[in-house]
Structure 1
Amino acid sequence: MNPFRIIIAFVITFCSPYTNAQKYVGGDLSLLTKYENQGAKYKDKNGTAISDLLVYVKQQGWNTIRVRLFVDPVKGQTITDAGNKKEVVQDLAYVKELGKRIKDNGLYFLLDFQYSDTYADPSKQWTPEDWQSFNDAQLQQEIYDYTLNCLQELNGAGATPDLIQTGNEISYGMLWGAKGTNANRCYTNSSTTNWTRFINLLKQAGKACREACPSAKIIIHSERAAKPDVLTDFFDRMKNAELDYDIIGLSYYPYFHGKLSVLANALNTLENKNYGKQIQIVETGYPSQWAVPGTTEAVDYDYSVDGQKQFITDLIEMLAEHPLVNGLSWWWAEANANGCTGDLKNGWYNAGLFDNSNGKALDALYEMKRFHGDETSINSITKNHNEDIWHKISGSRLHYEPTSTKGIFINKGRKLIVK
Structure 2
Amino acid sequence: MSHLYSFIIVMLLSTACSSDSSIGPTINDGNEQPTESDPVYYSTDQFVMGADLSYVNQILDHGGTYSVDGEVENPYKIFADHGTNVVRLRLWHNPQWVQDEVYEDPEKPLYSGFEDVKKGIEESKTQGMAVNLDFHYSDIWADPSHQDVPAAWMEITDIEVLKDSVYNYTYQTLEKLNDEGLMPEFVQIGNETNCGMMFTNAPENFPSLNGCNGNWENLGAVINSGIQAVREISANSETETKIILHIAQPENAEWWFENITADGGVSDFDIIGLSYYSQFSDTPLSGLSSYIQSFRTTFEKEVMIVETAYPWTLENADNYTNIFGENSVEPNYPATNNGQLEYLTDLTRAVIDGGGSGVMVWEPAWITSNMKDLWGTGSSWENNAFFDFNGELEPGY
Counterpart AA for 1:207: Q
Match 2:335 to one of 296, 303, 316: 303
**What residue is the counterpart of 2:143 in the other structure?**
121
Counterpart AA for 2:128: G
Question: Which secondary structure state, in structure 2, belongs to the residue aligned with residue 34 of structure 1?
Answer: helix
**Distance verdict in 2 for CA 1:284–1:351, change over 3 Å:** farther
Mapped to 2, the partners of 1:139 and 1:183 lie a distance apart of: 8
Match 1:25 to one of 43, 49, 64: 49
Q: 1:319-343 CA deviation, whole Å, 9 max, x = no partner? A: 22122x1121110111112xx3443
* Structure 1 residue 87 displacement after superposition: 12
Is this contact kept in 2: 1:64–1:109, CA < 8 A? yes
Question: Which secondary structure state, in structure 2, belongs to the residue aligned with residue 27 of structure 1?
Answer: strand
Match 1:175 to one of 191, 198, 207: 198
Q: Over aligned residue pairs, what C-alpha RMSD do you find?
A: 3.0
**What residue is the counterpart of 2:347 in the other structure?**
315
Is this contact kept in 1: 2:48–2:359, CA < 8 A? yes
**What residue is the counterpart of 1:14 in the other structure?**
20
Give the paired residue count. 339
Mapped to 2, the partners of 1:281 and 1:70 lie a distance apart of: 21
Runs ≥4 residues deviating over 6 A: 76-80, 179-183, 294-298
Is 1:333 the counterpart of 2:364 in the alignment? yes
Mapped to 1, the partners of 2:266 and 2:190 lie a distance apart of: 18
Is 1:260 the counterpart of 2:260 in the alignment? no
Q: 1:361-416 CA deviation, whole Å, 9 max, x = no partner? A: 236xx79xxxxxxxxxxxxxxxxxxxxxxxxxxxxxxxxxxxxxxxxxxxxxxxxx
Is this contact kept in 2: 1:255–1:298, CA < 8 A? yes
Is this contact kept in 1: 2:290–2:354, CA < 8 A? no
Counterpart AA for 1:38: H
The alignment-based identity, stated in percent, is: 27
* Structure 1 residue 175 displacement after superposition: 1.4
**What residue is the counterpart of 1:270 in the other structure?**
295
* Structure 1 residue 353 displacement after superposition: 2.4
**Distance verdict in 2 for CA 1:312–1:35, change over 3 Å:** same
Question: Which secondary structure state, in structure 1, belongs to the residue aligned with residue 49 of structure 2?
Answer: strand
Match 2:74 to one of 52, 58, 61: 52
Is 1:204 the counterpart of 2:228 in the alignment? no
Question: Which secondary structure state, in structure 2, belongs to the residue aligned with residue 282 of structure 1?
Answer: strand
**Distance verdict in 2 for CA 1:87–1:255, change over 3 Å:** farther
Counterpart AA for 1:217: K
Is this contact kept in 1: 2:296–2:303, CA < 8 A? no
Is this contact kept in 1: 2:244–2:273, CA < 8 A? yes
Mapped to 1, the partners of 2:19 and 2:191 lie a distance apart of: 37
**Distance verdict in 2 for CA 1:277–1:78, change over 3 Å:** farther
**Distance verdict in 2 for CA 1:280–1:13, change over 3 Å:** closer
Is this contact kept in 1: 2:147–2:196, CA < 8 A? yes
**What residue is the counterpart of 2:174 in the other structure?**
151
Question: Which secondary structure state, in structure 1, belongs to the residue aligned with residue 245 of structure 2?
Answer: strand
Mapped to 1, the partners of 2:109 and 2:357 lie a distance apart of: 28
Counterpart AA for 1:123: S
Mapped to 2, the partners of 1:78 and 1:124 lie a distance apart of: 20
Question: Which secondary structure state, in structure 1, belongs to the residue aligned with residue 384 of structure 2?
Answer: coil
* Structure 1 residue 306 displacement after superposition: 2.1
Mapped to 2, the partners of 1:43 and 1:116 lie a distance apart of: 34
Q: Unmatched 5+ residue regions in structure 1? A: 1-7, 81-85, 368-419
**Distance verdict in 2 for CA 1:131–1:101, change over 3 Å:** same
Aligned positions of 1:178-193 closer than 5 A: 178=201, 184=208, 186-188=210-212, 193=214
Question: Which secondary structure state, in structure 2, belongs to the residue aligned with residue 99 of structure 1?
Answer: helix
Aligned positions of 1:51-90 closer than 5 A: 51-75=73-97, 89-90=111-112
TM-score, scaled relative to structure 1 = 0.73
Mapped to 1, the partners of 2:148 and 2:286 lie a distance apart of: 32
**Distance verdict in 2 for CA 1:26–1:187, change over 3 Å:** closer
**What residue is the counterpart of 1:223 in the other structure?**
248
Is this contact kept in 1: 2:370–2:378, CA < 8 A? no
Aligned positions of 1:89-128 closer than 5 A: 89-128=111-150
Q: 1:299-322 CA deviation, whole Å, 9 max, x = no partner? A: 222122222111111112222212
Counterpart AA for 2:372: D
Is this contact kept in 2: 1:126–1:175, CA < 8 A? yes
Is this contact kept in 2: 1:177–1:184, CA < 8 A? no
Mapped to 1, the partners of 2:164 and 2:348 lie a distance apart of: 40
Question: Which secondary structure state, in structure 1, belongs to the residue aligned with residue 145 of structure 2?
Answer: coil
Mapped to 2, the partners of 1:87 and 1:93 lie a distance apart of: 8
